[in-house]
Amino acid sequence: MPDSTVSALPGLDESYTTLPSETSSESGQQVDKNEFIQLLVTQLQNQDPLDPMSNEDFAVQLAQFSQVEELIAIKDAVQGGSDGTETFSSMASYLGNAVVLGTNVVNGANAANEGLSFTLEGDAAQTTLQLIDSAGNVAFETDLGALSAGKQSLSLADFDLPAGEYTAQIIGLGADGKSFAADPNVLGIVSGYIPGENPALLVGDREISTTDIEEVRAVA
């Protein structure tokens, strides 16, 4: 099989970046809802009894407090929880990027949306992709041709894979006739995300956490 059978996911740039990180811009000068209500109570306790706050002013203060509560509720909903571990912006930053996951388990039904990333320790005169079932049997095998040493990516959409989950493995055959293995990782493009208490990214039909990601690659 010629080298052209090994193709990367569409639009994938082989350069890669580090995982995005959140930086805090909190100045420590913001007033939370508890401090706001304490300020309001203190103001009422220390007002001039001969010139108390008017009903109109008090109503304005309560309206401001209600707005603060609403803004906090919106912020928590967008961030997926008050702890802010996965914010709306951090999840959205993965959209359209290719991610390498810490697993080599592929599903034939999701093959059109995923690929494999692997690194060859040396030039391979012949390279073979195998899918192993739960019983340890080879359920699928195909020749990828000759590949050079280094980082490689492979689109699974090029193959008619059997349905079900399988462990992927890559076997290279050097010019000296000795075989060597290359551990593959699932590769896919983030197409969406699910916010909420347990936010998840979508890679094809696969729901993943950011902790499942080992590498992020830019897509051209």
Q: Which residues pair with 170 in a beta bridge?
A: 129, 182
pLDDT at 54: 66
For 41, the 3-state DSSP assignment is helix
Same domain, residue pair 82 and 99: no
| DSSP label of 164 | S
Q: Based on the domain organization, do 53 and 101 belong to the same domain?
A: no
Strands 12-17 and 213-219, bridge-based pairing: antiparallel
Is residue 104 domain-shared with residue 171, that is, in the same domain?
yes
Q: Number of structural domains, the chain?
A: 2
The continuous run of DSSP H or E covering 30 comes out as none
Q: What is the pTM of this model?
A: 0.63
Residue 28 domain-assigned (yes or no): no
Same domain, 59 and 101: no
Q: What is the pLDDT of residues 99-150, one digit of tens each?
A: 999 999 999 988 888 999 999 999 999 999 999 999 999 999 999 999 999 9
Are 91 and 209 within 8 A, CB to CB? Answer: no
Q: Does a structural domain hold residue 24?
A: no
**Domain with 148 in it:** 3-18+95-219
Q: Map residue 67 onto helix, strand or coil.
A: helix
User: Smallest Cα–Cα separation from 155: which of 208, 95, 114?
Assistant: 114
| Percent of the chain surpassing pLDDT 90 | 45
Give the number of residues written for the chain. 220
Q: Mapping DSSP to helix (H, G, I), strand (E, B) and coil, where does residue 185 land?
A: strand
